[in-house]
Amino acid sequence: MMDVGRHPNVELMSFSEVEAVTGFVGNFHVTVRKKARYVDPNECTSCGECSKVCPVAVPDEYQEGFSSRKAIYLPFPQAVPSAYILNMDNCLGNNPIACGKCQDVCEKKCIDYDDQDKLVNIEVGVIIAATGMDVYDPTEYDEYGYTRHQNVITSMEFERLICAGGPTEGHFVRPTDSALPKSIGFIQCVGSRSQDGRGNPYCSNICCMNTVKDTLLLCDHYPGVDIKVFYMDIRAFGKGFEDLYMRSKEEGVKYIRGIPGDVVEDSESKDLVLTVENTTTGKLEKHELQMLVLAQGVIPRRDNAKLRQLLTLSTTSDGFIMESHPKLKPVDAPTKGVFLAGCVESPKDIKDSVTQSGAAAARASILLNAGKTKIEAITSMVDPDKCNYCGLCSNVCPYNAILSSDKKTKKLPTIIQAACAGCGACAAECPQDAIYMRHFRDEQIMAQIEGILAERPHEQLITFACNWCSYAGGDMAGTSRLQFPTSSRLIRTMCSGRVDEKFIMQAFRLGAPMVLVSGCHFADCHYISAVTWTQKRLDKLWSKLDKLGIRADRLQLEWISAAEGQKFAKVMRQMEEKLATVTMDEIKQTMKILEEEEKKAKAKAEAKLKNTKSAEVAS
Amino acid sequence: MAERDVLFKCLGCGHEYPGKFDMNNIQERTCPKCRSNSVRRLPLPKKK
């Protein structure tokens, strides 16, 4: 951190928050709120005189509440910049000044009660998101008694207690009697790998080795302390991790395979009794301990939603920010020019975070040094003759790549070609067909539908498949030599979000018995959230089919990933079965209904045009 | 728009089940019975 603070090419903006990000790769405009510190960081020498005279004491967040801090304080000993900060929420008041003692004793006169937040605008070419993670709050695991028993602490609290810079200067004591505990237990996977609705289903990655490290620290500092670790699996998969785990065992740490179901406190001694089923022996055991540490898992930052919004990112089902591709682009965000580093992407240890940060910095510097970037060839374009300035396209775009139109000033929507990724959701949603996709124009897709249904339409299953997942899933089924019916005719679109309502209606109008729309699973969507528009559109379409008297289940939707070749084959078999239930009479009836609908729509459009023309003549 | 209780219908097997729906937070739907994704949100009955 010191290196970062002193680096001539790095401007460190601490105690600041990003308020807004606009623009696109190479041209991001970032608005940063530099919060009022009330202490000039350039002048402050961290002498600490101000803190000594401050009469306010509040729990110190950095020390997990084990000690107190003043209203004016150094956030933590290694803080960069090494300058004090005044928390106005804790201060007795600055308007009017209620105390003013800190200002009186400050020799450098660097305390300014009238300091204000400042908004700073900066221009950057690329952005690296490295906002980290939060830790899981174990209070919902009531059986461990975290809120009831003082001697039950979390692994974060343990870190402060064992740290030389902590509230006890590294003397590990238990909270109830400030004595060294003779026996300490660790419970693993608190809030991780949970299937009971509490906590999270994923592995937090770092807790096992953190506990192994903690046990070794205890063995080193306090030989003779009885240490027990209650676990379901020890995941020691990194370089040298297994050695560390073995060393911990050799030091006498007992690893018991079983997660305790109950923790009871002795009201006098404040000792704890754990009941656990040892799954190795199959016996129910009771363990008496003087202190218990909960190895809490990690969770995505609680303000991740704001980050998502600022940088138009998406999250995986566990809430961490999704990368562009899990194997080939693990540090790239789906938004061009944005990279991810550390636990913002997934739980990871220091080594992996450093590796990913290095990769993100390298990826960023490639873009910056090149000074130019390749943009997507398949992008949206606006037809100015058709646009009616409704602004729907800019609402739909998952990349915020469309600058909104304005009906009053007749300003057309502007598509930022560098930011457009080519999902086509805008083209599909546009009610005027005023947006077209290069290489995936309406006419091109319509021609494919007409071509497929030109002969024996009643035998064809029209399948729209997204380029990245479903189409690749079909490839996977083929290369895996899986058997599936030959009735399916695939029409590739870049995203299922590109599948326009009129493509589906046209297929039914031309005699298709069934239409299948397939795309990526929501968590895998190559275009952030474009896939959600597919779901919304199909909801509307199913209702429309119902109203027209067409069976809604003739339009099917499936999410098939590139690896799900088996699912692709299975879906195709199911579609074949459904296809067999559609009779020729039903198909003919549908064609008739839709022909009439088309005639009605044409007549309506002509009448509207006539009215507009006569209104123009009248005016 | 807040999350609301709706009825879902699977167009694969016809299974109907209740669930939550939020227009601003569309979630992937899977039929709990047949695992199909052709799950339709049934329109709410019109108020009289």
pLDDT for residue A614? 82
State whether B29 and A574 contact (CB < 8 Å). Answer: no
Say whether pLDDT at A97 is over 60: yes
End-of-domain residue from the set A240, A264, A299: A299
Same structural domain, A384 and A427: yes
Structure tokens at A342: 């550390």
Q: How far, in Å, CA of A136 to CA of A358, rounded?
A: 27
pLDDT at B47: 61
| Average pLDDT score over residue span A515-525 | 92
- Pairwise CA distance, residues A410 & A165, whole Å: 64
Among A283, A299, A315, the domain boundary falls at A299
Q: Pick the residue from chain B with its C-alpha nearest to A532.
A: B26
A556 contacts B11? CB cut-off 8 A: yes
In this structure, are A464 and A450 located in the same domain?
A: yes
Question: Band of the pLDDT at B39, cuts 50, 70, 90?
Answer: very high
* Same domain (yes/no): A385, A466: no
Contact A559 B28 (CB under 8 A): yes
The DSSP bridge partners found for residue A255 are: A229
- Asked if the structure places residue A305 within a domain, the reply is no
Percent of chain A with pLDDT over 70: 100
Considering the domain boundaries, does residue A46 fall inside one?
no
CB contact under 8 A, A553 and B38: yes
As for how many domains chain A has, the answer is 3
User: Which of A469, A538, A566 should one mutate to test binding to chain B, selecting the residue with the greatest count of B CBs within 10 A?
Assistant: A538
Q: With an 8 Å Cβ cutoff, is B20 touching chain A?
A: no
Contact between chains at B28 and A536 (C-beta distance less than 8 A): no
The pLDDT value given to residue A245: 96
> Smallest Cβ distance to B38: which of A522, A532, A558?
A558
Mean pLDDT, rounded, for A40-68: 93
Query: Do A568 and A476 contact (CB within 8 A), yes or no?
Result: yes
Bridge pairing between strands A414-415 and A402-403: antiparallel
Burial label for A395, CB within 10 Å (0-12, 13-18, 19+), is exposed
| Percentage of chain A lying above the pLDDT 90 cut | 84
In angstroms, rounded to a whole number, what is the distance separating the alpha carbons of residues A284 and A295? 22
Q: In CATH, what number is assigned to the domain containing residue A413?
A: 3.30.70.20
CB of B41 less than 8 A from some CB of A: yes
Mean predicted lDDT score pLDDT of chain A: 93
Check if the beta carbon of residue A540 is closer than 8 Å to that of residue A552: no
Q: Which pLDDT belongs to residue A376?
A: 84
What is the secondary structure of A156-186 as a DSSP string? HHHHHHHSTTSTTTT----TTT-S--SEEEE
pLDDT tens readout for residues A11-28: 999 999 999 999 999 999
Contact with chain A for residue B15, Cβ under 8 A: no
Contacts within 8 Å (CB) and 24+ apart, A305-313: A307/A129, A307/A131, A307/A344, A310/A18, A310/A20, A310/A21, A311/A21, A311/A127, A311/A129, A311/A335, A311/A338, A312/A398, A312/A399, A312/A400, A312/A528, A313/A129, A313/A338, A313/A528
Residue A398: cis peptide before it, omega within 30 degrees of 0: no
As a whole number of angstroms, the distance between CA B18 and CA B9 comes to 9
The answer to whether the beta carbons of residues A204 and A349 sit under 8 Å apart is no
Q: How high is the pLDDT of residue A115? A: 92
For chain B, percent of residues with pLDDT exceeding 70: 90
Sign of CA dihedral A418, A419, A424, A430: negative
Name, in order, each residue with C-beta under 8 angstroms of A423's C-beta and a sequence gap of 6 or more.
A398, A494, A495, A497, A498, A526, A527, A530
Q: Tell me if B11 and A521 make a contact (CB, 8 A cut-off).
A: no
Q: Does some domain include residue A390? A: yes
Same domain, A427 and A445: no
Q: What is the ipTM of this complex?
A: 0.93
Question: Mean of the pLDDT values across residues A189-205?
Answer: 93
List pLDDT tens digits, range A468-493: 999 999 999 999 999 999 899 999 99
Mutate to test the interface with B, among A466, A557, A572 (most CBs of B within 10 A): A557
Q: What is the mean pLDDT of residues A222-239?
A: 94
Q: Averaged over A310-335, what is the pLDDT?
A: 89
Query: Residue A612: which pLDDT band, with cuts at 50, 70 and 90?
Result: confident
Same domain, A170 and A189: yes
- How many other C-beta atoms lie within 10 A of the C-beta of residue A356? 24
CA distance A426 to A419: 14
Same domain, A464 and A598: yes
User: What average pLDDT score do residues A330-347 get?
Assistant: 94
Can you give the CATH number for the domain in which A242 is found? 3.50.50.60
Instruction: Supply the DSSP symbol for A323.
Output: P
Q: Is the pLDDT of residue A148 over 70?
A: yes
Same domain for A565 and A609?
yes
Residues of A with CB under 8 A from a CB of B: 521-523, 532, 535-536, 538-539, 542-543, 552-553, 555-559, 574
pLDDT category of residue B46 using cuts at 50, 70 and 90 = low
In tens, the pLDDT along A523-581 reads 888 898 899 999 999 999 999 999 999 999 999 999 999 999 999 999 999 999 999 99
Is the confidence at residue A36, as pLDDT, over 70?
A: yes
Q: Chain A contact for B40, CB < 8 A?
A: yes
Beta-carbon separation of A543 and B37 below 8 A: no
Asked if residue A159 is part of any domain, the answer here is: yes
Q: B11 vs A542: CB contact, 8 Å cut-off?
A: yes
Domain boundary among A396, A417, A436: A436
The verdict on A234 and A268 lying in the same domain is: yes
The pLDDT, as a whole number, for residue B48 is 57
Provide the CATH number for the domain around residue A535.
3.40.50
A421 and A444 both lie in a single domain: no
What is the structure's pLDDT at B23? 86
- Structural domain boundaries enclosing A603: 440-619
Q: Is residue A560 part of a domain?
A: yes
**Residue A292 and residue A379 share a domain:** no
What is the rounded distance in angstroms from the CA atom of residue A479 to the CA atom of residue A467? 17
Q: Which residue of B has its CA nearest to A305?
A: B25
Cβ neighbours of B43 in A, within 8 Å: 543
Residue of chain A with shortest Cα separation from B38: A557
Per residue in A406-421, pLDDT (tens digit) is 888 889 999 999 999 9
**Which chain B residues are within 8 Å of A557, Cβ to Cβ?**
11, 37-39
Same domain? For A426 and A497 the reply is no
Domain co-membership, A428 together with A488: no
For A554, nearest residue in chain B (alpha carbons): B11
